[in-house]
A and B are shown apart, each in its own frame.
Chain A
């Protein structure tokens, strides 16, 4: 099942909200089997970038290509087919607050697979176990902490075994132990499924663990690109200041 070649390609993407320019011609490319980490200060448009990739927002100009198809030209039906292949973890979890933890994770399965109720239950339990939330399946999202919500949202994003993963700050707000558990999980899934992943993070430790390649976004553009060690040794002032926070 692992695919080959480029999964996601973003070309010259621009996006403004009113007078505020957020992305000004960003480019990136991720292949199957590869994890790209996007670094950058808050408010630089990293979350907007991920939303543009799944078509939740439309760019002012530029293109997003997934599996070779420009998503701007897709019918709603075809766009939904593309979205089923993508697992999206929102920065603030975005769990459905009228559904229990179990039902949140089961939602994509119920909508998009022909699994029976018992198969689904089994799969949901397995997903919750992966993120260490198996004991909290019956709770409502409002009854668990922000970090736990994040882990449930991660389980939900992985439910359909998507081949493309978009994670918006997967380890932010988690304690260091849980965070490294999540990194471990992301690596495992990556190894098993050969995903193309884009991970937005501020956690340089996590970035070092999971990424094959990193880009650093500044003022709506990618200003540096390379492996962790390459960025670490960069002579550029902004890049080295950014990377200096990690030991």
Chain B
């Protein structure tokens, strides 16, 4: 826990007193609040940075696609192997497609995608903004009358939010395909039949809320990564800390948020 806390405040060391640790903990949340308020103010006021947003969507979305697809495919395969092993024991292999669909689309797909994006995009944004900060590029932008919160931060956050559900769907799709492949190795079945039996007992309420919750994951990743990047100080070491901090903290907040979101979704869509 202490290493997590020290990521919250890069100026802390192992030798700090608990009082100082607690102090920087609250300081971090306070600064995050101020950051979010400024972000909101800059993001809602026109004019909007359409071109830069598209560039970031490409950066976040297109460039994460191979990674996310591979992770989804691996997850689908593992789920298929696992469910086959346990369901065969009860002679319930006909349920395999349904189990794969449910566990992939409702939980594994979103969380795996979230963690992958937190790793790749979180580190990239943290390091990029961090190095811009320590080399005064952010100051230079502000001095030339361009709001860095609008141009750099808002575009990255919105790109993360918009791309997360799409990336999740791609991961789901790849997972279903490898799940089907793995299942077919032992019991050959056509893809149509597989999908059919997978979705037989499901409706949209099973799959839509878990996919949309990844909007929140995207928000967490974008905000934490930009925040860590923009508060970087202390040269190259600081940039490294910003990148690490943004991955560690966004992954942590992501899994915590997932618990809450699962609870909320189960309550709203029983």
Chain B: number of interface residues, binned into ranges: 10 to 19
Cβ of A80 and Cβ of B145 under 8 Å apart?
A: yes
Cβ of A54 and Cβ of B143 under 8 Å apart?
A: yes
In the complex, what residue of chain A is closest to B128 when comparing beta carbons? A98
Residues of chain A in range 148-173 having any CB-CB distance to chain B below 8 Å:
156
Distance in Å: Cβ of B58 to nearest Cβ of chain A? 13
User: For the complex, is A56 an interface residue (Cβ under 8 Å from B)?
Assistant: yes
Residues of A contacting B139 with CB < 8 Å?
Answer: 51, 56, 90, 94
Cβ of B145 and Cβ of A112 under 8 Å apart?
A: yes
Cβ of A94 and Cβ of B146 under 8 Å apart?
A: no
Could you give, for residues 160-195 of chain B, a 1 whenever the CB lies within 8 Å of some chain A CB and a 0 otherwise?
000000000000000000000000000000000000
Residues of B contacting A56 with CB < 8 Å?
Answer: 139, 142-143
User: For the complex, is B196 an interface residue (Cβ under 8 Å from A)?
Assistant: no
Could you give, for residues 53-95 of chain A, a 1 whenever the CB lies within 8 Å of some chain B CB and a 0 otherwise?
0101000000000000000000010001101101010101011
User: For the complex, is A229 an interface residue (Cβ under 8 Å from B)?
Assistant: no
Residues of A contacting B145 with CB < 8 Å?
Answer: 80-81, 83-84, 108, 111-112
Could you give, for residues 161-191 of chain A, a 1 whenever the CB lies within 8 Å of some chain B CB and a 0 otherwise?
0000000000000000000000000000000
- A97 in complex: contacting residue of B135, B142, B146, B147, CB < 8 Å: B135
Residues of A contacting B147 with CB < 8 Å?
Answer: 76, 80
Could you give, for residues 13-28 of chain A, a 1 whenever the CB lies within 8 Å of some chain B CB and a 0 otherwise?
0000000000000000
Distance in Å: Cβ of B9 to nearest Cβ of chain A? 15
Distance in Å: Cβ of B139 to nearest Cβ of chain A? 5
Chain A interfacial residues counted at CB < 8 A: 22
23 residue pairs bridging A and B, Cβ less than 8 Å apart: A51-B139, A56-B142, A56-B143, A76-B147, A80-B145, A80-B147, A81-B145, A83-B143, A83-B144, A84-B145, A88-B143, A90-B136, A90-B139, A90-B140, A90-B143, A94-B136, A94-B139, A94-B140, A96-B137, A96-B141, A97-B137, A107-B144, A108-B145
Cβ of A111 and Cβ of B137 under 8 Å apart?
A: no
Most B Cβ at <10 Å: residue of A80, A83, A94, A96: A94
Residues of chain B in range 6-48 having any CB-CB distance to chain A below 8 Å:
none
Residues of chain A in range 92-140 having any CB-CB distance to chain B below 8 Å:
92, 94-98, 107-108, 111-112
The 8 A-B pairs of least Cβ separation, nearest first, read A94-B140, A80-B145, A94-B136, A83-B145, A88-B143, A84-B145, A108-B144, A54-B143
Q: Which residues does A use to contact B, with CB under 8 Å?
A: 51, 54, 56, 76, 80-81, 83-84, 86, 88, 90, 92, 94-98, 107-108, 111-112, 156
Cα-based distance from A145 to B147 in the complex (angstroms): 28
Residues of A contacting B141 with CB < 8 Å?
Answer: 96
Cα-based distance from A97 to B145 in the complex (angstroms): 18
Residues of B contacting A97 with CB < 8 Å?
Answer: 131-132, 135, 137
Cα-based distance from A89 to B29 in the complex (angstroms): 34
Distance in Å: Cβ of A132 to nearest Cβ of chain B? 21
- B135 in complex: contacting residue of A80, A88, A94, CB < 8 Å: A94
In the complex, what residue of chain A is closest to B140 when comparing beta carbons? A94
Most A Cβ at <10 Å: residue of B131, B135, B144, B146: B144
Cβ of A86 and Cβ of B135 under 8 Å apart?
A: no
Cα-based distance from A191 to B164 in the complex (angstroms): 55
Cβ of A92 and Cβ of B136 under 8 Å apart?
A: yes
Residues of A contacting B132 with CB < 8 Å?
Answer: 96-97
Cα-based distance from A94 to B137 in the complex (angstroms): 5
Cα-based distance from A51 to B139 in the complex (angstroms): 9
In the complex, what residue of chain B is closest to A162 when comparing beta carbons? B144
Residues of A contacting B140 with CB < 8 Å?
Answer: 88, 90, 94-96
Residues of B contacting A88 with CB < 8 Å?
Answer: 140, 143-144
In the complex, what residue of chain A is closest to B55 when comparing beta carbons? A98
- Kindly list 4 other residue pairs between chains A and B, CB separation below 8 angstroms, not including A83-B144, A96-B141: A56-B139, A83-B145, A94-B136, A94-B140
Cα-based distance from A54 to B144 in the complex (angstroms): 10
Cβ of B143 and Cβ of A92 under 8 Å apart?
A: no
Residues of B contacting A94 with CB < 8 Å?
Answer: 135-137, 139-140
Cβ of A95 and Cβ of B137 under 8 Å apart?
A: yes
Residues of chain B in range 120-144 having any CB-CB distance to chain A below 8 Å:
128, 131-132, 135-137, 139-144
Residues of B contacting A76 with CB < 8 Å?
Answer: 147
Cα-based distance from A92 to B73 in the complex (angstroms): 47
Cα-based distance from A169 to B135 in the complex (angstroms): 16
